């Protein structure tokens, strides 16, 4: 330990002496001096630019010993750049140039100069293509990404992007530096099939506001929207409706007629048209097939799978209506389907039209009769007039589908029971009209003539004479109530007698007799 401690000062002293000697030698040999630190030169400089001035005495001659890319030369005692530097094409931004200094009778020395090439914004941003085409399915969720279209710029990051039109309804950029195109609102093929956009890029945020050079570039984007299979077949005709973003079209079904015990040949005629469904996706028009799901008891009907035409395999032997549930589904995607109803009314064959009991009728009315009064049957009584038609196709002549109609008169109307009702006050002496009895299922009808005589007002019992006044009704009610009370008293009295056990069967008869007499 002691030895080592002792020896240290000797070593330090020795080192110092050596250094001083060495430095003196260096000093003596230093021909050129280069200012310390790297020299910065911006790229895209003009040719023949000074890099650095080398300090030396005038008898020292200099040359470039190591000249990267042959870019440098010496003019006098100045290191120069021959031509514009390009930061982007250099392997390293730092270039080391060696300058050789020599003087007669002295040792030649080399000095290094570090040149730092500074990057300038001298290149535009570039898109790989001028034009981009995006094929998208409709109805992509909002905020989903449809593509990232980036430009490259050898100088600067980040780049600044902007979509045009900026107010585009359907797309937006993720942010100003990320050109990821996002869905802004739902694309519906029925509404939009093609969208054109411009994507601008700029290498400086607000280039025009500063003196710095800046570059821009632009790419066009065409978006094609594809119709996806999102809708089922729609039976035609149908009523359109919107449910949120969904579109529906609702059919109200089909209706047809068949005759009882008759087999029709060929496709049955339906209202409002033949069974027909079309794909709800406008542009897809998927093939559709038809099927009867329910209601086809006894397989009377069959549907053409391709056309939807319904035909009969045999006659109908039941009274209708017959309701078929018909399915239309896409051949390639059975999950897309629609269901509707086809209703067949079963018609009984009519052999006879409705016929009035008489060909001509006569009725009466008063000039004083108010609207809603009934036409009367004769002069002397107030019995209402009535027409009746029979249909011999039906037992008892009563066709439930028969309706009466009035023709050629605005004075009266006819009720479904055949009573003729005045519609307005009549001033003429008489009027005539025709009544029709129409079978609403077959359209067959019978007619009869009716002439109505209008009688002077005197004989007419006015409606107030016919009816009872409120006072009369009250009196009647009172009398009835009194009678009821009397009856109850008599019944009570008789029952009490029965309870005494003396009453015989005869007596019971007598009681009931009395009671009835009392009620009457």
Ligand X SMILES: *[C@@H]1O[C@H](CO)[C@@H](O)[C@H](O)[C@H]1NC(C)=O
Strands 445-455 and 360-366: parallel
Residues within window 27-46 making contact with ligand X, judged by CB under 6 A: 44
User: What torsion, rounded to 10 degrees, do the Cα atoms 272, 273, 277, 278 define?
Assistant: -100
Residues, the chain:
520
Instruction: Report the alpha-carbon distance of residue 419 to residue 392 in Å, rounded.
Output: 21
Nearer to ligand X, 10 or 265 (CB): 265
Q: Is 213 in the site for ligand X (CB under 6 A)?
A: yes
Picking from 148, 116, 295, the residue whose alpha carbon sits closest to that of residue 219 is 148
Q: Which of 416, 428, 496, 504 binds ligand X (CB under 6 A)?
A: 416
CB of 256 to ligand X, least distance (A): 7
**Nearest distance in Å: CB 227, ligand X:** 23
Residue 118 CB, shortest distance to ligand X, in Å, is 12
H or E element, residue 495? helix 470-499
Place of tokens 């209202």: 271
Which of 41, 115, 258, 420 contacts ligand X by CB under 6 A? 258
Would you count residue 415 as binding ligand X (CB under 6 A)? yes
Q: Is 388 a binder of ligand X (CB under 6 A)?
A: no
Tokens matching residue 25: 């030698």
DSSP secondary structure of 11-61:
HHHHHHHHHHHHHHHHHHH--EE--SSPEEEESSPPSSEEEEEPEE-TT-E
Nearest by Cα to 368 from 289, 299, 443, 422: 422
User: 88 vs 262, which CB is nearer to ligand X?
Assistant: 262
Residue nearer to ligand X on the CB measure, 416 or 504: 416
- Does 274 help bind ligand X (rule: CB under 6 A)? yes
**Closer residue to ligand X, CB minimum distance, 120 or 511:** 120
Number of residues engaging ligand X in binding (CB under 6 A): 22
Shortest separation between residue 258's beta carbon and ligand X, angstroms: 5
Footprint of ligand X on 323-352 (CB under 6 A): 347
Indicate whether 271 belongs to the interface with ligand X (CB under 6 A). no
Closest CB to ligand X among 247 and 348? 348
**Per-residue 3-state assignment (H helix, E strand, C coil) for 49-93:** EEEEECEECCCCEEEEEECHHHCEEEECCEEEECCCCCHHHCCCC
Please state the closest distance from residue 237 (CB atom) to ligand X, in A: 15
Closest contact distance (angstroms) between CB of 230 and ligand X is 18
By DSSP bridging, strand 288-294 and strand 322-330 are antiparallel
Q: Angle at the Cα of 383 (from 378 to 388), degrees rounded to 5?
A: 85
- Position 145 contacts ligand X (CB under 6 A): no
Q: Does 84 bind ligand X (CB under 6 A)?
A: yes
Binding segment for ligand X (CB under 6 A), chosen from 109-117, 227-235, 304-312, 510-518, is 304-312
Say how far residue 21 (Cα) sits from the centre of its chain: 95
**257 touches ligand X (CB under 6 A):** yes
Cα distances from 62 to residues 27, 50, 205, 211, 325, in angstroms, run 18, 15, 47, 40, 105
- Alpha-carbon distance 446 to 437, whole Å? 5
Q: Which of 61, 126, 309, 441 binds ligand X (CB under 6 A)?
A: 309
Q: Map the footprint of ligand X across residues 108-127, applying CB under 6 A.
A: 120-122
Cα–Cα distance, 97 to 273 (Å, whole number): 94
| Residue of 367, 409, 413, 430 that binds ligand X (CB under 6 A) | 413
- Residue 403: CB minimum distance to ligand X, A: 8
Nearer to ligand X, 99 or 161 (CB): 161
Exactly one of 59, 262, 357, 429 binds ligand X (CB under 6 A); that residue is: 262
- What SS3 class is residue 161? strand
- C-beta closer to ligand X: residue 311 or 453: 311
Does residue number 267 form part of the binding site for ligand X (CB under 6 A)? yes
Point out which residues bind ligand X (CB under 6 A).
44, 84, 120-122, 142-143, 213, 257-259, 262, 264, 267, 274, 304, 307, 309, 347, 413, 415-416
């Amino acid at each position: 330990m002691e030895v080592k401690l002792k020896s240290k000062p000797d070593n330090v002293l020795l080192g110092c002496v050596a250094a001083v000697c060495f430095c003196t030698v260096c000093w003596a040999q230093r021909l050129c001096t280069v200012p310390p630190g790297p020299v910065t030169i911006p790229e895209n400089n003009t040719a023949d630019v000074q890099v650095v001035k080398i300090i030396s005495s005038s008898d020292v001659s200099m040359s470039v010993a190591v000249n990267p890319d042959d870019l440098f030369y010496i003019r006098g005692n100045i290191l120069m750049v021959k031509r514009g530097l390009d930061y982007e094409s250099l392997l390293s931004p730092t270039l080391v140039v060696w300058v050789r200094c020599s003087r007669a009778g002295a040792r030649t020395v080399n000095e290094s100069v570090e040149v730092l090439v500074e990057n300038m914004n001298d290149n535009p941003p570039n898109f790989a293509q001028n034009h981009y085409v995006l094929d998208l399915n409709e109805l992509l969720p909002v905020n989903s990404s449809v593509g990232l279209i980036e430009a490259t710029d050898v100088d600067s990051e980040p780049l600044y992007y902007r979509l045009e039109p900026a107010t585009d309804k359907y797309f937006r950029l993720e942010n100003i530096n990320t050109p990821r195109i996002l869905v802004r609102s739902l694309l519906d093929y029925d509404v939009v099939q093609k969208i054109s956009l411009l994507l601008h890029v700029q290498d400086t945020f607000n280039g025009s506001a500063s003196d710095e050079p800046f570059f821009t570039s632009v790419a066009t984007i065409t978006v094609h929207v594809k119709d996806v299979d999102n809708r089922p077949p729609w039976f035609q005709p149908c009523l359109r409706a919107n449910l949120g973003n969904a579109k529906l079209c609702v059919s109200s079904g089909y209706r047809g007629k068949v005759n009882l015990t008759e087999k029709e040949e060929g496709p049955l005629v339906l209202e409002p048209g033949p069974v027909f469904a079309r794909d709800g996706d406008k542009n897809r028009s998927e093939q559709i097939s038809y099927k009867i799901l329910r209601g086809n008891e006894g397989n009377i009907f069959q549907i053409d799978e391709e056309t939807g035409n319904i035909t009969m395999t045999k006659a109908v032997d039941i009274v209708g209506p017959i309701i078929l549930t018909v399915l239309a589904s896409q051949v390639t995607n059975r999950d897309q389907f629609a269901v509707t109803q086809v209703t067949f009314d079963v018609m009984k064959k009519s052999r006879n039209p409705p016929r009035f009991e008489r060909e001509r009728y006569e009725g009466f009315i008063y000039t004083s009769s108010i609207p809603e009064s009934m036409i009367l049957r004769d002069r002397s009584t107030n019995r209402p007039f009535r027409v009746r038609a029979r249909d011999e196709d039906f037992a008892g002549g009563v066709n439930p589908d028969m309706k009466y109609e009035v023709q050629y008169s605005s004075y009266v109307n006819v009720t479904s029971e055949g009573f003729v009702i005045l519609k307005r006050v009549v001033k003429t002496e008489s009027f005539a009209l025709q009544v029709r009895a129409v079978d609403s299922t077959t359209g067959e009808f019978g007619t009869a003539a009716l002439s109505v005589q209008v009688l002077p007002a005197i004989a007419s019992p006015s409606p107030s004479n016919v009816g009872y006044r409120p006072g009369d009704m009250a009196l009647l009610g009172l009398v009835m109530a009194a009678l009821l009370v009397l009856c109850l008293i008599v019944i009570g009295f008789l029952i009490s007698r029965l309870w005494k056990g003396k009453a015989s069967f005869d007596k019971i008869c007598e009681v009931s007799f009395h009671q009835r007499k009392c009620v009457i």
